[in-house]
Structure 1
Amino acid sequence: MIKESDLKDGISAIIPTYKGEKYINKLLDSLINQSIDFNLFEAIFIVNGELDSTPDIIKKYQTANPEVNIILTESEKGVCNARNKGIELASMKYSIFIDDDDFISENYFEELYKFVKPNRIVLGTFYDIDEDTGKVMDSYMTPQLLKNSGIIENPYKTIKDAIVITTNKIIPTINVKNSNFNPELTNGVDIAYYANFYPDNDFEFYVVDKSIGANYYRLWREGSISRQDMSYEFNIDNRLKVIENINKGLKKAKNQEMRSFIESLTGGQVVKINEYLNKYPKEYNNVLKDILEYDYEFFPYKYLNEDLSKLNNDERKLIISYAFSPTNTTTSNVVAKKILSDKKNVDIICASLDDMPKDFTLEKIVLEYIVNKFTVTSNFSTEWDNILNFVNEGMKLIKDYGEIYSRANFVHSHFLALEYKIKNPKTYWKAEFSDPLIYTFGNRHLSGKLTDEEYISRINKILKEKNLEPISSENDINCVCEYLTFIFADEIIFTNESQKDVMIDSLPFKVDIDEKYIISPHPTLDEKYYHIKKSNYSLDKNYVNFAYFGVIFPNRSFEDFINAFENISEKFKDKIRLHLFTPNRTLFEQLLTKDLLEKTTFNQNIDYLEFLNLSKKFDVLIAEDSYTKGHFIKNPYLPSKISDYKGSDTTIWAICEKNSEMSKLDIKYKSYINDLCGNTDTLNSIMCEKTNEEIEPFTIDEKEYNKQRTVHLTQKIAELIDVCESEFKKDEMYLAKINELTTRIQNLEKENSEILNSNSWKVTKNFRKIGKKFK
């Protein structure tokens, strides 16, 4: 391996050339007229690809200027191969890459060389030259270099554009020789190179002051790599290859500054992808599929197929969400979806909730929109002390915001937002409720009483000033949350109208929110988010594959699908496969009939982004309402997965409660809870569509079937009772054994105590001494 001591003082200029006869004289003239000592630089020309008169022109300059160290060689086709050849031949301590259609000012080498140091990169000033007029113009990176000089603080932001073009910088050769350009790339090679070069090194950057006039001139001409005609190969395939190389550099980043810098390098590639999609929008799905094949660690989905001018707002709102990514709950996922749908930068405050399941795939995507994330260290609990801790610690972390948004299932979010609103009354507060908070089925209270008299007293003083009803220790925590949020929030958001009616009906306080509530269903994400994480889940396309994601409980059973399956045409039964993604496997195993169980595949819950991708692969997605009759005046629930299912473009079968919010949605296949004939007809219709087969009319003996189903479930319940009783008997046996052992231990302890306190201990003393000698 080469050492720095093996290199000579000076600069190695590495210059690939391909059919450069039209332009290369300008560069050669600028080289032979350099003011630096000719012994301090070498110009290595590497001819690659198809030949023209370029080699002859270079040879003429060699002959006419023997004092200048001009080296002529060749490489395999491609600019990357040429630069790698030049790196191999470089013999001086510092190197610079120059393109064959560019040129440099006469003092360029001399002035830059004055500031070189090991581990330092030195840049000059950079200009473009119009090919037709010869006019000198600022390039997009020129302002960065004109505004800065000397050692640059935070170079990966301050002069980011200038440090990722291949040219206009002198670099220590020893570092260059440990790198190479990727010959598989035909464009975007500079971005790919520096994305991998900088993480391997720790450079200082120095910009020569513009007043010195050490200038690099780039000829901007038609037909250059950067100005190629639009095509799928150039705008999509080549861009994705460059992003793949950027991701390789990302894996080497040692700190967040470097990670952010390398991630930002993908932006220019996505701009070219978007240009193509704007012209050919029907190619969107093909592009998404090609992106998915790479399985990137990072891809800037935020910018894909978006109007970039509308992103990255300066004035940010604060989102308050007790649970948030990577914590994996429905609440945190919905908040993440809202951020991704709004497409605006935000700040967020949440709890760490280290004791809850995590989904880091979704977090990685939503973090693209989050500028500041404030985290309160806390494990999950719905006790008041935990809620109050989130409020108090949260208030220490957040400062000034013109707008805040909070969302509850978990009331911690609204209580913190309330505290902020009280302290900052001019702040606009949007508060969203996912479900009713006070009661669930059977009027079971969802929270305990609010017994914090100090908090009650403080809030009541404010309520008294507003001539509003006071709260008391007889009120549930969730009840107080609803009431105070309705009063103090500037905007109340419900997912559906029925939810609003139920919550107002169950609230034991009088409130008027008619002027400030809105209905906003859960958002459906853009198509691109269904292609981020590829699911390798295997499906046999010889069958019609149904999927159900989620849990079941007394008021949301799976009985309607089971009953429909048992009563469909026999020729369809063997063509159905059911896929369940649930933590309720044991419960499903008890409910499913023997025939259906044999056609069912059980799976654990999966990450949200994989769920989105997988939802596109099934033939039918099943959604089932909760049965709320007798519990609420209306059904206040709308299954959150419906919004995700809609974005999948997969057939949805919604099994609805009559007059529920889901029953009002525009879904092709809808049937109703406890409607055996209707559910069976719907399943038969689905199977006819998916198999292109027809069925003969038939009738169902509901009474006989229900009788058989009741017998089946009764047997299952009896089996479960037997299992439970068996387990209880085992527990009784174990308990008896433990009690027996405990009694024996107590008796032994008593006997030992009696021996120690008796003369027999003294009598046997000498015998015990003798016994020790024989051990």
Structure 2
Amino acid sequence: MELVNKINIVDANSDYINNVISSLTQNRPEGLTIIQKVDYFNDNVASNIKQLETAKNIELILCTSDSDTYTELSKKENEKIYVLQGEIEDAKLYIKYSHVLLLDDCLSLQIDDEMLYEDNVIYLAKVSDNKSIDGQIYKQYFKDVTINETQFDANSVEKFVREAVCVIPSKLIFHHKFNQSFSFRINIWMSNLMAVTNLDGHVKIGRPLTVCGQLDRGLPTTLNEVLNIIKYIDEKISKRYDQKVTEVLQYFNKLFTSQLKTFIDQGQISKEELIDLMKTYGVNNIYYSSLNKGDARKLVLAYCFPPFNDTSGNVMAKRIFESGQVVDVISNDMSRIRNMDHKLLNIMNHLLDSQIVLEGAQAFSSWQSIEDYIDGVIKSYKMYKNKYEEIYSRVMFPQSHFAAFELKKLNKNLKWVAEFSDPLYTDVSSDVRYAPIEEEDYIEGLKDFVDQKYHHLIDDNVFNICEVLPFIYADELIFTNQNQLDYMLRRFDEEICELVKSKAVISQHPTLPSEQYHLVNSFYRVKEDEINIAYFGNFYDTRGFRQIELVAKYLYEANINNFKIHVFTNLNKKTMKFYQNSAFKEYIVMNQYAPYFEFLNLTTVMDILLIFDATTAGIKPYNPYVPSKLSDYRGSGSKIWALTEENSILDLTQDKNLYITRQIDYQLYAEKMKEMASDLNKPLYSVKNIQCVQ
């Protein structure tokens, strides 16, 4: 296994820092120093002393805090054996050779042959006579895995740091200082872990070396012991290691945080008290999912969910935050079609029990991807089927409702809450969406299951079925606005409409608390003396650069020039061509789409946040959409300028920071800007912004 785990690896000065670290390293001759902690003289210590009679390039440092034991051990001292009355940290100062092995007096070392010690290599010794669970895991790991082919990941690292079998380059032994609040066993863990996470080299099997005997497990037994270990690793996480090292350290913190759950389950401390205590200890990275393990009674089915960045998944995360209930989540790997942002889980990680990420096909609405997700959800549900009282599904994507329906079939006592983000059956242009259900047996199975009076609603269109099944079988239906509900019901008869309305709840997208707007501080800078307007979001056929340009145009033509419109969007050649050809580009600043938490922070920096209604005039009888950005804007404290369609939900919304102008009332853009500028106490015109054109 090759490791390249330099500190500050992403910093501009990383090479300089790592070269300085290397230059400070003390070079030692090739060989092995064994440091053995001795509470009393026993057969293991005697065996190690005897081993050294014929071994080459090996020294043994016997370290004891007991004066009588020190006296007895001193009789064994020679040029290969050094006896020290003190602690392990004291013994480290006497390391002679290039590599070091730490043992307690329950263990002995069997040296089968002379061994070569390469620089920057950690060697894994074999184990013998170790019947502990960890020892058996370690031996099985050696049987199953070829170390040279193993990737550097948390599971691999855990296997070989949990036993005192790591022969460590001496220069790495100082990355962990023995902590008196830890057991010897945990200090060994941390020495091994810190060595591995700072190694720039290889991990190999040291075949001539065998560690014999069973090491005391030494696991922490008190709340304070566990908290001290978590605090220790948490402080390491805050260092600027590369991403792989950080993930390994996070894994171990989760491992020990899981142990804290035992104290909650035993009634020794409440979860709330424990979280407060962890914060008092100074733990910054609290892994709530470990503390919530087993507590979820609600199962959330969200095909796309954080850490994959998607509006639908983010809204689902906010729904969980809003509910305040601990949940399990079953999502799908979306790496082929969505970017990852691990910070997104901060929205609701304090309410997460478990997240199962399936590896089915990734697509918007293909039947294969729906089938894969259904199969994965059913298998996962059956493992914990007695755990849940409620399931919650949200579209987009259609996969979520299909899987929820199958669970409702399995257990009719489950409460099923189904949310619709937007009308599903028709798109923004009022065209019918169609994706085929490519399995006749599934369609026939639906007809066998549903009441005959609903048979006329069953066809082979994914988007139709994805509305029909929740309408009939969900216990509660969530819509973001009344127009959406009315629009989606227009195609159904009165009986279905009454059924849906009896279960319908209108709930706009949730808004996060103000502290979440400062989890990430953006380095983006604006001029304080200008009116800074921002637009966040992708450009679509019905909303694009032209809308932004029109705002700049009508402000400019009204002799308003003290403004900038900062656009954060999906930049592409088409958009940039429009921008380059614009007569108003000096008032528009184009930026790449901002990650979610940076976006939240940026909303607090700007004076005015632009939001547009979807264009539906002449296409739909009324506007059934509420932009999800509105909920995010509301938490910023900034002014919100909504360019609306008449009588849309956004147009009729009242909010102290919301300023409304109809999109087509271009002559009123400047009037609304004057009103906002007055409230902001900023000038509309600036002489320094006059552009001279030759």
Query: How far apart, CA to CA, are the structure 2 residues paired with 1:656 and 1:154?
Result: 67
What is the match of residue 464 of structure 2?
479
1:669 counterpart = 2:659 = yes
1:469 and 1:70, CA in 2 relative to 1: closer, same or farther beyond 3 A?
closer
Q: Cα distance, 1:198 vs. partner? A: 2.4
1:37 and 1:392, CA in 2 relative to 1: closer, same or farther beyond 3 A?
closer
Q: Cα distance, 1:489 vs. partner? A: 0.9
1:598 and 1:176, CA in 2 relative to 1: closer, same or farther beyond 3 A?
same
Query: How far apart, CA to CA, are the structure 2 residues paired with 1:449 and 1:95?
Result: 63
Deviations 1:649-680 (A, max 9, x none): 33322222233222314133222222234332
Query: How far apart, CA to CA, are the structure 2 residues paired with 1:571 and 1:311?
Result: 57
Deviations 1:390-445 (A, max 9, x none): 33454344322432211112222111211221122222211110001122345310
1:440 to 404, 418, 427: 427
What is the match of residue 107 of structure 2?
116
Query: How far apart, CA to CA, are the structure 2 residues paired with 1:423 and 1:674?
Result: 51
1:244 to 238, 244, 248: 238
1:309 and 1:367, CA in 2 relative to 1: closer, same or farther beyond 3 A?
closer
Q: Cα distance, 1:116 vs. partner? A: 3.2
1:382 and 1:241, CA in 2 relative to 1: closer, same or farther beyond 3 A?
closer
Mapping of 1:149-548 within 5 angstroms?
A: 151=132, 153=134, 178-180=172-174, 197-200=192-195, 206-207=215-216, 243-245=237-239, 251=245, 258=252, 260-261=254-255, 271=276, 274-275=279-280, 300=285, 314-342=295-323, 344-362=325-343, 365=346, 368=349, 369=352, 371-399=354-382, 400=385, 401-448=388-435, 453-464=440-451, 468-471=453-456, 476-507=461-492, 510-511=495-496, 512-548=499-535
1:637 and 1:302, CA in 2 relative to 1: closer, same or farther beyond 3 A?
farther
The 8 Å contact of residues 568 and 684 in structure 1, kept in 2 or not, is answered as no
Q: Cα distance, 1:591 vs. partner? A: 8.2
Identity among equivalent pairs (%) = 24
The 8 Å contact of residues 306 and 341 in structure 2, kept in 1 or not, is answered as yes
1:575 to 535, 539, 562: 562
What is the match of residue 160 of structure 2?
none
Query: How far apart, CA to CA, are the structure 1 residues paired with 2:447 and 2:515?
Result: 49
2:607 to 609, 612, 619: 619
The 8 Å contact of residues 450 and 473 in structure 1, kept in 2 or not, is answered as no
1:521 is paired with a residue whose SS is: coil
The 8 Å contact of residues 391 and 414 in structure 2, kept in 1 or not, is answered as yes
Query: How far apart, CA to CA, are the structure 1 residues paired with 2:615 and 2:400?
Result: 28
1:590 and 1:242, CA in 2 relative to 1: closer, same or farther beyond 3 A?
closer
Q: Cα distance, 1:614 vs. partner? A: 2.8
2:296 is paired with a residue whose SS is: coil
Query: How far apart, CA to CA, are the structure 2 residues paired with 1:205 and 1:596?
Result: 76
2:174 is paired with a residue whose SS is: coil
The 8 Å contact of residues 94 and 170 in structure 1, kept in 2 or not, is answered as no
Query: How far apart, CA to CA, are the structure 2 residues paired with 1:205 and 1:542?
Result: 71
Query: How far apart, CA to CA, are the structure 1 residues paired with 2:286 and 2:648?
Result: 35
TM-score of the pair, normalised by structure 2: 0.63
The residue type paired with residue 672 of structure 1 is R
What is the match of residue 750 of structure 1?
none
1:150 and 1:386, CA in 2 relative to 1: closer, same or farther beyond 3 A?
closer
1:560 and 1:687, CA in 2 relative to 1: closer, same or farther beyond 3 A?
farther
The 8 Å contact of residues 351 and 377 in structure 1, kept in 2 or not, is answered as yes
What is the match of residue 636 of structure 1?
624
The 8 Å contact of residues 358 and 376 in structure 2, kept in 1 or not, is answered as no
2:71 to 20, 33, 38: 38
Deviations 1:333-374 (A, max 9, x none): 222333455455533333334431312334664795352414
2:92 to 84, 87, 93: 87
The residue type paired with residue 200 of structure 1 is A
The 8 Å contact of residues 643 and 663 in structure 2, kept in 1 or not, is answered as yes
1:649 and 1:151, CA in 2 relative to 1: closer, same or farther beyond 3 A?
farther
The residue type paired with residue 652 of structure 1 is I
1:94 and 1:358, CA in 2 relative to 1: closer, same or farther beyond 3 A?
closer
Q: Cα distance, 1:625 vs. partner? A: 1.0
The residue type paired with residue 464 of structure 2 is C
The 8 Å contact of residues 545 and 578 in structure 2, kept in 1 or not, is answered as no
Query: How far apart, CA to CA, are the structure 2 residues paired with 1:389 and 1:240?
Result: 38
1:150 and 1:448, CA in 2 relative to 1: closer, same or farther beyond 3 A?
closer
The 8 Å contact of residues 313 and 344 in structure 1, kept in 2 or not, is answered as no
Using CA pairs under 8 Å that are at least 6 residues apart, name the structure with larger relative contact order, 1 or 2: 2
Q: Unpaired runs of 5+ in structure 1?
A: 14-30, 43-67, 72-81, 97-111, 120-148, 157-168, 227-235, 278-297, 696-775
TM-score of the pair, normalised by structure 1: 0.57
The 8 Å contact of residues 258 and 290 in structure 2, kept in 1 or not, is answered as no
- Say which structure is richer in helix: 1
1:617 and 1:311, CA in 2 relative to 1: closer, same or farther beyond 3 A?
farther
Q: Unpaired runs of 5+ in structure 2?
A: 1-27, 41-63, 76-82, 111-129, 138-162, 197-202, 204-210, 262-272, 686-694
2:356 is paired with a residue whose SS is: strand
Query: How far apart, CA to CA, are the structure 1 residues paired with 2:510 and 2:187?
Result: 36
Q: Cα distance, 1:319 vs. partner? A: 2.0
The residue type paired with residue 638 of structure 1 is V
Q: Cα distance, 1:70 vs. partner? A: 5.2
What is the match of residue 162 of structure 1?
none
Query: How far apart, CA to CA, are the structure 2 residues paired with 1:662 and 1:370?
Result: 36
Query: How far apart, CA to CA, are the structure 2 residues paired with 1:324 and 1:315?
Result: 17
1:621 and 1:240, CA in 2 relative to 1: closer, same or farther beyond 3 A?
farther
1:41 and 1:480, CA in 2 relative to 1: closer, same or farther beyond 3 A?
farther
Q: Cα distance, 1:151 vs. partner? A: 3.6
